[in-house]
Amino acid sequence: MKIEAIALREIHMKLKAPFETSFGTVQNRRILLVEVVADGASGWGEVTAAETPAYNAETTDTAWHVISDFIAPSVVGKSVVEASELPPLMARIRGHEMAKSGVENALWDAAAQLKGVPLHKLLGGTMQEIPCGVSLGIRENPQSLVKKVEEELRSGYQRIKLKIKPGKDYEFVAAVRKEFPNIRLSVDANSAYSLDDAAHLKKLDKFGLLMIEQPLDWDDIHIHAKLQAQIQTAICLDECIHNTRHALTAIELKSCRIINIKLGRVSGHTEARLMQEMCRKRDVPVWCGGMLESGIGRAHNIAMSTLPGFTLPGDVSASQRYWSEDIIEPGVEVTAKGTIRVPNTPGLGYAVRRDRIEKLTVRRRNWDARHATSEAASTVRTESC
């Protein structure tokens, strides 16, 4: 496949409701979309970086810079046999996994279309339906949280994840567990605690949680081993894990018993496949985490979640939970039994709504190897929609 062109777009989308975590609240999303044209096929990827460097060091603007000034110029015009050969072309760029993921995943989509197969089959996926969970932001009080959990359970979700932070944890979890004693329940701290809070976190053991996700420092695998030794609840690592080496280190140090794989955080499908296979061989369950993606990022998450190592319900949920109108059709839907049926048409399996994307676009940049005599790149800015 020859990478003939790349188009980078920033779109603005508004969540149906604010989403609060331990590091802030978001409602207006600035999302970067990457379109890669390879051998005439157009594939799409999404950069899952947030607007601020609160989750990790990347942001919407750093990803725009890295793709514009380093990734796109270095890969446009290059040829690869398989999409998995793209990461070496970006290897001289350290970090910036989310920027890399947006480009690589778009190429995977194009490759699946060229082969005439669904993306999940090209990746090696085996499931035709994936189990779904839902992630709930921090609420103002336990009563409103219980009400929201009840609503999501009526929608069929198989696992409920509660965002927590100091002061909004024990009582909130206790209220949910009292009302729903048998549901699959987990919590996510997004690095809000320290090892000094071990005794407090140990109190959560009584609620029979599936996991507590990333309770301590975002960049410290070793300290989680100290906490895991003191609590019964399984720790799941998220922000700490950027590649398969990190995951293996965490497993060998006994820092966690579960790993969350986010496509953007691990730089794309190639590394995600390696990570889930390594974890599968060691009987460590993995699942797909979410980053408030549009339908394009959500479609990639669905494809990844069909791989055999993904044994727990992920954060892949219905489009309508987040967006009044998505940028794919049909929107992602969850069945009454809490699953998503995996599409079987070539590529992502969902149609990208170019007209909708154009209306939401506030800036774009293009690179095209097919027109060698023209400028290598052009930038267009439009008013925010």
- Indicate the helix (H) or strand (E) that contains 19: strand 3-21
Q: Are 255 and 222 in contact (CB under 8 A)?
A: yes
Listed in sequence order, the residues at least 6 apart from 232 whose beta carbon sits closer than 8 Å to its beta carbon are: 202, 205
In one-letter notation, the amino acid at residue 161 is K
Q: Name the residue with tokens 């999302």.
A: 31
In one-letter notation, the amino acid at residue 129 is E
104 backbone dihedrals φ, ψ, rounded to 5°: -60, -45
Q: Is 148 considered catalytic here? A: no
121: phi > 0 → left, psi -120 to 50 → alpha, else beta; which?
alpha
The active-site residue out of 100, 148, 165, 262 is 262
Q: Name the residue with tokens 């995600």.
A: 272
Q: Is 165 considered catalytic here? A: no
The active-site residue out of 100, 161, 163, 165 is 163
The greatest distance separating any two alpha carbons of the chain, rounded to the nearest whole angstrom, comes to: 68
Query: Strands of 24-38's sheet, edge to edge?
Result: 41-47, 24-38, 3-21, 361-368, 377-381
Kindly list the catalytic residues: 163, 262
